[in-house]
Amino acid sequence: MTPLAKVPSHAFAVAPMLERTDRHFRYFFRQISAKALLYTEMVFDLAILHGDTERLLGHRDEEHPLALQIASSDPGRAAKAVRKALAYTFDEVNLNVGCPSEKSQRSGIGAVLMRTPGRVAEIARAVYDECGVRLSVKHRLGLDADEGYAPLARFVETVAAGGVVTTFIVHARKALLSLDTRKNREVPPLRHDLVHRLKRDFPELTIVTNGGIQDLKAVTRHLEAVDGVMVGRAATEDPWCFAAVDAQIFGLPRRPTRQGVVEAMAAYLDDALGEGVPAAAILRHLVPLFRGVPGARHWRRALTESVTSPEGLLEALKAIPPEVRLEPPKPHTAPT
Ligand SMILES: Cc1cc2nc3c(=O)[nH]c(=O)nc-3n(C[C@H](O)[C@H](O)[C@H](O)COP(=O)(O)O)c2cc1C
């Protein structure tokens, strides 16, 4: 029996993002979609082994389906860290093979692991032997001088040949190790076509594409070629844009409203304040919920400057016209 909570669908996922996809964001996005696969921020193996695990891994049941992303370069350490982390219950454990930061490079984790797919396979094997969990891998198209499809296919083929990893999430641009992390999400060109080809060549693997995907129309288009789509910045910058995901991608009869989302978050805020969480840590995620609609400026100001309580949050909602806050997901997000 798998020690994971359940096998999640990869059709639509929200990317792991440091300082963005913390537990509060995940609870918030869960009000928008019941089924999107959510990822934690990247957590170092050593932090799991020696750090404050409740702070790093703690979450609510409602956040599932939930994947933990780990950073590791060492099979033994990864195995021990995953064993410890599983006490918190996750639906997937993912290995970061995409982070190009200097710190990651120095520690031999993240994108530099693309040079050693054999090591990625060893890490996956160690975790599997220790815990019975098949890691998924989130990686790039290649590194530095790598060009075209061959380096990507070689990486995936070698990792998959280790016999453990069957799910590959590809940030569809290569990593340039001389650039900072931010430029590495913008400068190397996106090549989703290479990820689509990967699925054609490895039909037995679960292939997910990621990078620059802005709305559900684009998600639907990619799903014709791959098993799943992972959305990063767009989900934090304009979360309501994905409000039709349950109906459109997962076929659920669910029509959330922004009023419903805010009411659920007011109850969550109430609990969290009781646990000593500062209101701002939660409210910051709700700021873009009303992007581009009447009352948005008032909402943003209230949340960043004055709201400190659930009552204040519900009061701020009144700045948004009822026809907007009670409106189900917009038809423009429907497939064309
Ligand atoms: C603020 C921020 C933090 C990120 N942190 C992580 C991380 O912890 N792990 C990871 O694999 N990718 C991380 N990423 C990369 C995203 O997961 C994603 O691959 C990238 O942003 C491209 O997708 P997008 O264009 O939809 O945003 C981060 C991206 C951003 C913007």
Alpha carbon 267 to its chain's center: 24
Interhelix angle 258-274/310-317, nearest 10 degrees: 160
The answer to whether the CB of 212 is under 6 A from ligand 1 is: yes
Which of these is catalytic: 4, 78, 99, 126?
99
Q: What does the pLDDT read at residue 1? A: 45
Calculate how far, in angstroms, residue 326's C-alpha sits from the geometric centre of ligand 1: 31
Q: What is the pLDDT of residue 332?
A: 47
Domain regions of the chain by residue span: 12-248, 258-325
pLDDT of the residue at 254: 86
pLDDT tens, position by position, 281-332: 999 999 999 999 999 999 999 999 999 999 999 999 999 999 999 999 975 4
With cut-offs at 50, 70 and 90, classify the pLDDT of residue 335.
Answer: very low
Nearest CA to ligand 1 atom 5: 17
Q: What is the pLDDT at residue 23? A: 98
Instruction: For domain 258-325, give the CATH number.
Output: 1.20.120.1460
13, 37 Cβ separation under 8 angstroms: yes
Alpha-carbon distance 152 to 215, whole Å?
Answer: 26
99 given a catalytic annotation: yes
| CATH architecture of the domain formed by 12-248 | Alpha-Beta Barrel (3.20)
Q: Whose CA is nearest to atom 15 of ligand 1?
A: 17
CA 201 to centroid of ligand 1, rounded, Å: 26
Cβ atoms < 10 Å from Cβ of 76: 13
* CA gyration radius, the chain: 20
pLDDT digits (tens, 9 = 90+) for 160-219: 999 999 999 999 999 999 999 999 999 999 999 999 999 999 999 999 999 999 999 999
* 134-176 pLDDT tens trace: 999 999 999 999 999 999 999 999 999 999 999 999 999 999 9
The finding on whether 171 has its CB within 6 A of some atom of ligand 1 is yes
Q: Which residues of 111-130 are buried (b: 16+ CB within 10 A; e: fewer)?
A: bbbbbbbebbbbbbbbbbeb
- SS3 for 186-230 is CCCCCCHHHHHHHHHHCCCCEEEEECCCCCHHHHHHHCCCCCEEE
pLDDT in tens, 48-57: 999 999 999 9
Give tens-digit pLDDT for 215-266: 999 999 999 999 999 999 999 999 999 999 999 999 999 889 999 999 999 9
What's the CA gap between 313 and 303, in Å, rounded? 7
CA of 210 to the centre of ligand 1 (A): 9
State residue 336's pLDDT score. 40
- The CB of 17 under 6 Å from ligand 1? The reply is yes
Pairing state between β 206-210 and 66-71: unpaired
> Which ranges of the chain would DSSP assign to H, the alpha helix?
23-32, 45-50, 53-57, 75-85, 102-107, 117-131, 150-161, 192-201, 216-222, 233-237, 245-248, 258-274, 279-286, 296-301, 310-317, 322-325
Per-residue confidence (pLDDT) for residue 2, from 0 to 100: 61
Angle between helix axes 117-131 and 75-85 (nearest 10 degrees) is: 40
DSSP tag of 330:
P
Q: What is the DSSP letter of 302?
A: I
Question: What is the chain's length?
Answer: 336
